[in-house]
Amino acid sequence: METEIDFYELLEVERTADDKTIKSAYRKLAMRFHPDRNPGDAEAEAQFKAISRAYDCLKDPQKRAAYDRYGHAAYEQAASGGGGGGHPGGFSDIGDIFETIFGSAFGGGGGGGRPRRGADLRYDMEITLEEAFHGKDTEISIEVSQTCEPCHGSGAEPGTDVKRCDTCAGMGKVRAQQGFFVVERACPTCHGRGEVIATPCRACGGEGRVDMPQNLEITVPPGVETGTRIRLSGKGEAGPQGAPPGDLYIFMHVRRHDVFERDGTNLFTKVPITFSKAALGGTVSLPGLDGEWITVNIPAGVQSGEQLRKRGDGMPVLQGRGRGDLIVDIQVETPRKLSSRQKELLREFQQSETQNQCPDSMGFFERIKAGWGKPR
């Protein structure tokens, strides 16, 4: 499971979102989680810091480009670059900082340009609450760019060679004098690779990858919930011309259940009981998600709206031990149609009721009488 939260996911926007959409999403979330609106809420404060950090990266075109290309590592390197004298973050010179963050278009150092990593992909999977309880092994099929088999990802026609770029002599960079500074940038001929393809592969057009279906075995662990993300490293889009592939993220969506509602590891359900069972007590049985029946003891005199807790009968803890609780919300049902005999018995019972038996209702009307006198 991946614990590092994607900046786009934090701001609840797509990776293709424009600056206006990102800014609007940030403002909305910042108002929601701002510490002034959530005094003493450590979780809200942490969320506010996280979305601020994400916006700080995505609002800047260069930082965003670096993040899209290299992920969190690029942003962390950029963040470590501030401070006092010298070269913070352990870099040998300022050129190393820019190259680490923004790639071969900046900075110094030898060697060719970094290969452009394949894009990350998203797959949305819907499961039942029972499947979320037990976990499941399943297979999915997605259309994704994969390494071209004829050229083995090189992009060159089989039997031909990939040649060194003459413009940059295989360095992937060219230098230009600008005043007192020498600026390096990606080679315009080979685009930073240091190599050129004389005869592109006919199967992939020189890309080194082709679109085709991919079947993957997925293991859904017990305890997942809506929003849980499963990361499959290297199962995303293949990189161009032999570059590393991206990752595939499986986003879980748990369907609504007819009986149970979920809150984390706890399950909630409303259980209607008869007036007589509420007064006398008894038991009710519910079908558990594990296939076993759950017996709930109803205490005599239970009131409508009271909640009874069955510890350890909730959802499994994701990647942990134990289970949450089952919370039963009691709903006392008043009889709608009574026979003559039932009405007679209830009238007899009504006449024998005392304030000790019904302290709330009788006490309420006694207070009314004491305050305003008897009704006219």
Cα–Cα distance for residue pair 83/371, rounded to 1 Å: 71
| Coil vs helix vs strand at 285 | strand
Determine whether the annotation assigns residue 165 to a binding site.
Answer: yes
- What contacts 292, CB < 8 A, 6 or more positions away? none
CB atoms under 10 Å from CB of 98, counted, come to: 22
Determine whether the annotation assigns residue 358 to a binding site.
Answer: no
Instruction: List the structure tokens of 325.
Output: 């609780």
DSSP class per residue in 321-333: SSB--EEEEEEEE
Instruction: List the structure tokens of 22.
Output: 């990102």
Determine whether the annotation assigns residue 187 to a binding site.
Answer: yes
For tokens 């929003």, what's the residue?
Answer: 227
Cα–Cα distance for residue pair 225/317, rounded to 1 Å: 10
Strand-pairing partners, residue 93, are none
Cα–Cα distance for residue pair 301/151, rounded to 1 Å: 78
Burial of residue 137 (number of CB atoms within 10 Å: 0-12, 13-18, 19+): exposed
CA 18, 19, 23 angle in degrees (round to 5)? Answer: 120
| Coil vs helix vs strand at 146 | strand
Instruction: List the structure tokens of 175.
Output: 């230098």
Cα–Cα distance for residue pair 112/241, rounded to 1 Å: 14
Cα–Cα distance for residue pair 272/288, rounded to 1 Å: 17
CB atoms under 10 Å from CB of 156, counted, come to: 24
- The answer to whether 252 and 222 are in contact (CB under 8 A) is no
Burial of residue 222 (number of CB atoms within 10 Å: 0-12, 13-18, 19+): middle
Determine whether the annotation assigns residue 57 to a binding site.
Answer: no
- Binding site: what residues are annotated? 148, 151, 165, 168, 187, 190, 201, 204
- Binding site for Zn(2+): what residues are annotated? 148, 151, 165, 168, 187, 190, 201, 204
